[in-house]
Amino acid sequence: MSNPLALPPRPEDGHKGTFGTVGIVGGQDNTDTTMVGAPALAARAALRIGCGRVMIASPRSIMSEVLGGCLSATGRPMPQDGRGELESRGAVAAVALLDAETNAMVVGPGLGQSPGAVAVVSSLLSAEGPPLVLDADAIHIAAGLDMASGWSRQVVLTPHPGEFEVLARAMKLTVPNSDDASRREAAAAMASQLNTVIVLKGHGTVVASGSDVWTSDQGGVELAIPGSGDVLTGVLVGILAQLAGSGKPVDVAAAARLAVTTHARAGACWRREGGTRGLLAEELADRIGLCP
C-alpha cells in the first residue's frame, strides 16, 4: 500500500484558484420529492477541507435554497420540465460546462433517478474530465448502465451497504455479509472488475483499489446520522480537487483513505465534546480539518 497522502502546501501568495475547484451535481425538486441539503453539505465539507471554490449544479427551482446551505458556493441551475424533473438536454449541457471548469467532480447527492438524472450521470461517465466521485443516486443509476466498456476518467464510488448491494447484484458479484473479511473481499472484487476505487461505507469503512484493500479502524456511532455520507463525499472531492489543481498525478485511493480518516476524526472530535448522540451533519462538516 502506498504511503499516507498529504495535502499540497498552501503558499502564502495563493488565491482561491490555487487550491482547486470542485463541481457538485445534486439535489432534486419534483412533484414527489425535494432534496436540498445533500449538495449543500458536500459543498460545505469540500470548502472545510481546503478547496478554493465550489460550484453546484442543482435544479433551478431549489438553487437558491441549496446555496443558502453553503453561502460560499456558487450555482449552475439545471432546467426542469413541468413536473420539476430535470430536462435532459439542458441539464447535460449545464453539467458539461461545469465539468470543464473544475478539478474534481461529484454527482449524486440528492439527485434522484429521473431520466434527466440518468442522462447527466451517463454523460459524465462517458466524457473525459477530472476525477469523478459517484455517490448516492448516481450509484443506483450506474447499476443500470453498461459498465463493461469502462469509463473515460478516474472514478471513485462511495456506496453505503444498500447501494453496494444494488451494484453488486447488477454486476453479478457476491453481496457481502457484515463481517470485515466479507466486506473487504467484496469491495476488492468490485474495484477490480470496474478498474476503479470503491469506498464501502459503514463501521470499518473499506477502501479498495484492485488488490489494494484498506479498512479504517476509526469512526464511531456518532457518524450514523443523515448527511454523514454527503460530508464524506465533500471531503473526498475537496481533496481530489486540491491534488488535481496542484498539477501532480492524483492517487485516488490514497485520497479516499485520507477522506475517510479525516471524516472519522471530525466525528471523534464531536464525541469528545458531546457524546454519541445529537451530531448534525453541518456540525460534522464544520469540524473537518480542525481535529487531529
What pLDDT is attached to residue 167? Answer: 96
In degrees rounded to 5, what are phi and psi of residue 243?
-65, -45
Q: How far apart are CA 273 and CA 116, in angstroms?
A: 43
Q: How confident is the model at residue 3 (pLDDT cuts 50, 70, 90)?
A: very low
Residue 2, pLDDT score: 47
pLDDT band at 4 (very low <50, low <70, confident <90, very high): low
Per-residue pLDDT tens for 137-152?
Answer: 999 999 999 886 789 8
Q: Give me the residue spans of the domains in the chain.
A: 20-286
pLDDT at 199: 98
Q: Which CATH architecture has domain 20-286?
A: 3-Layer(aba) Sandwich (3.40)
pLDDT (mean) for 97-101: 97
The answer on pLDDT for 89 being more than 70 is: yes
At residue 205, does pLDDT exceed 70? yes
Longest Cα–Cα distance in the chain:
51
223 Cβ contact list (under 8 Å, min separation 6): 263, 264, 267, 279, 284
